[in-house]
Structure 1
Amino acid sequence: MKDEVRQALDRQQTVDITTIGRRTGQPRRIETWRYTAAGRYWLTGSPGARDWYANLVAHPEFTLHLDGMDVPARARLVTDPEERARIFGAIVPGLTWADSLESWIAGSPLAEIEID
């Protein structure tokens, strides 16, 4: 990963991503939050269904918008219960507004941001 991309990811917790709609095939840009855990970058949200996640399930390639850069990225969807527990165990305790860790493990989307 280029240093300028890593530095932008380190600075920006709120990021825009453009996914490809699972039904329409059209680009969909939204604002979401980026988290850091285990030295890697993640997209997640509070428990519940998310259109952006459903789009990544259908089309894992997306664009990450950082500091004026449009960065091609790929989502690695995390479904393994042990990995989900480990990653959410690093993210959720730092969120003062979050529901229980168990609810995040059971019901939150989780995708690693992969950039070449």
Structure 2
Amino acid sequence: MAVTDEARAALDRQLTVDITTIGRRSGQPRRIETWRYLAGGRYWLTGSPGARDWYANLVAHPEFTLHLKDQDLHVRGRAVTDPEERARVFGEIVPQLDWAGSLESWIAGSPLVEIELD
């Protein structure tokens, strides 16, 4: 199902989102709060360098629910592992974060997932 323009506008406004993934081992839903980022005109999930359960869940089960204030979107996550694409996306995201540390550490060790809306 395609995401409406109204849903895209809501996602543009909302930086903090909840996501519900399916546990890679348990098969049970797991809901967490995280931040969404915008780079290259697309939406992304990431975090500071380190392992994340939500990322491992999305690699195993790419479909997830993106919870906005007034609606839930059923979307797909695309894990980004290509070094050039990671460098390009993090090159837009990390400089905007005054707490982020080095770009190199994010490229090397942060999860990166594109939120595929359509």
Answer whether TM exceeds 0.5 for this pair. Answer: yes
Aligned to 1:40: 42
Distance 1:40 1:47 in 2: 21
Aligned to 2:86: 84
Distance 1:70 1:87 in 2: 25
1:10 to 9, 12, 18: 12
1:106 to 97, 105, 108: 108
**TM-score of the pair, normalised by structure 2:** 0.96
The CA deviation string for residues 62-114 of structure 1, in whole angstroms up to 9 with x for no partner, is 00001221110000110000000000000000000001000000000000000
- 1:115 equivalent to 2:117? Answer yes
1:25 to 19, 27, 33: 27
Name the aligned partner's letter for residue 104 of structure 1.
W
> Secondary structure in 2 aligned to 1:105?
helix
**TM-score of the pair, normalised by structure 1:** 0.98
% same residue: 80
The CA deviation string for residues 24-65 of structure 1, in whole angstroms up to 9 with x for no partner, is 000000000000000000000000000000000100000000
The CA deviation at 1:8 is 1.0
Aligned to 1:67: 69
Name the aligned partner's letter for residue 40 of structure 1.
R
Moved beyond 6 Å, runs of 4+ = none
Q: Give the total of aligned pairs.
A: 116
Distance 2:65 2:38 in 1: 18
